[in-house]
Chain A
């Protein structure tokens, strides 16, 4: 319990919040870095994923990217980039590493969301004479929305966690409070920093769940459809989702690689475990 009282004292000391090494500054760095990298990753990954999903190609790429990404340690990538010539370019190694690890969940989930959009509905829309862009914007993207958002959520959690690790490679952010604490054998500071990081991660995750619910184009309609389709005991495993959001999530499904990419895209399940 010493550690907790120590951490509490650390957190309630005003001096620890102010200045260059203070919490506010580190939090600002952390949030700014995460937001920039997430935006960059979304700009890069989502258009590609939506387009690949729309034309129905590139499934193997989207699936394997996540499988390979999981095997590469974020810490190793951060350090390798720091030691590379890029290491002298300020924040660039961190930015590249963060974007790199945010892309797979975005790409894979958005692609799968597009492919899992009910084919009958898509065909019907096409039959009604919708053009390609109309189909994309008014049918496929709304149907893919849950998985697109899941991708954004996993990518965000990923980015916030990796930004913490950036401190190990000399970057800024809240992780710096933890590494500095380890450096000084200051357990109180280590625990205080860890609490701050954990709270930030949970707050961000919670905020995204709310954003997700608020913007859901099928709000209030989806559940009826699902229960109709998956009636019966022990229905979809998607129903065990966190916070009762009741949806399947591609980011940690079976580690199975697809038997034949492109064939029956609806059961190409991909997995992305925790990376950082």
Chain B
């Protein structure tokens, strides 16, 4: 492995780190990164939109909880390559295959975390809101959801980071974002392409995680001010513990 000292000849030498590669193929890298971000964002957003009603249903009807959680767990166990392969005949070779697979995986974490967050809302808070005349919709969106937000965002963070990583496998159908570059780099034995794409992928995951953490801080200012009073935060933290 040669270091960063890679000069202009690094493409010919097939070095792992190659500035010339990044310069000459910058458009390719940008396109792949944008596709990667697009697939991840669409998957997580759809995942949230599907997971939320599922979590509500699982909470409302005890009988629904078992099947919902059981089914998402079964889906979670299916290896991603198999999942994408199974979805290919349904959607043809398209980005929909990758997005659908990633949505199905994100459901497991999202449903469990939303459910845990909602169930952790103290019963007396719920009673108080009801006593103040809150209807069930207002109770949900005005009281329960904000209190469940830390658990929800925790779920979104896990789902997002693992979605970023798994998007690469979408390269089997040609929609893997940076994974496409990893795959083509492997075929051409092009080290710089593989390493650059891999590093970008990890960076993308870390940046997404930090952004979501920042978002959570913004949305739940009370969790910051309450730090000294450990009691409340500890309780919230314990209940945010969820199953895979």
Contact = CB atoms under 8 A, between A and B. Distances in A.
Interface string A72-105: 1111110110111000000000000000000000
Contact of A248 (B73, B119, B195, B243): B243
Given A75-B169, A190-B88, A240-B69, A198 B182 contact: no
Nearest to B65: A240
A178 interface: yes
Nearest to B87: A194
Contacts of B243: 237-238, 240-242, 247-249, 251-252
B135 interface: no
A194 B112 contact: no
B51 interface: no
A182 B66 contact: no
Interface residues of B, number: 72
A254 B241 contact: yes
Interface in A154-194: 154, 157, 160-161, 164-165, 167-169, 175, 178-179, 181-182, 187, 190-191, 193-194
Contacts of B119: 234, 237
A254 B240 contact: yes
Contacts of B239: 236-237
A72 B81 CA distance: 17
A178 B241 contact: no
A56 interface: no
B206 interface: yes
Majority DSSP secondary structure for residues of A touching B: helix
A166 to B, nearest CB: 10
Given A195-B86, A198-B79, A73 B168 contact: yes
A271 B209 contact: no
B205 A71 contact: yes
A164 B77 CA distance: 13
A241 B243 CA distance: 6
Given A244-B66, A249-B243, A269-B237, A255 B179 contact: no
Nearest to B239: A237
B82 A201 contact: yes
Given A71-B164, A242-B70, A274 B76 contact: yes
Contact of A249 (B80, B162, B186, B242): B242
Given A190-B85, A242-B69, A249 B189 contact: no
A79 B82 CA distance: 19
Interface string B62-106: 000110011001101111111101101110000000000000010
B233 to A, nearest CB: 9
Interface of A: 2-3, 70-77, 79-80, 82-84, 154, 157, 160-161, 164-165, 167-169, 175, 178-179, 181-182, 187, 190-191, 193-195, 197-198, 201-202, 205, 233-234, 236-238, 240-244, 247-256, 264, 267, 269, 271-276
15 contacts: A70-B205, A73-B169, A73-B179, A73-B198, A73-B202, A164-B81, A168-B172, A197-B78, A198-B83, A201-B78, A237-B120, A242-B70, A274-B244, A275-B162, A276-B169
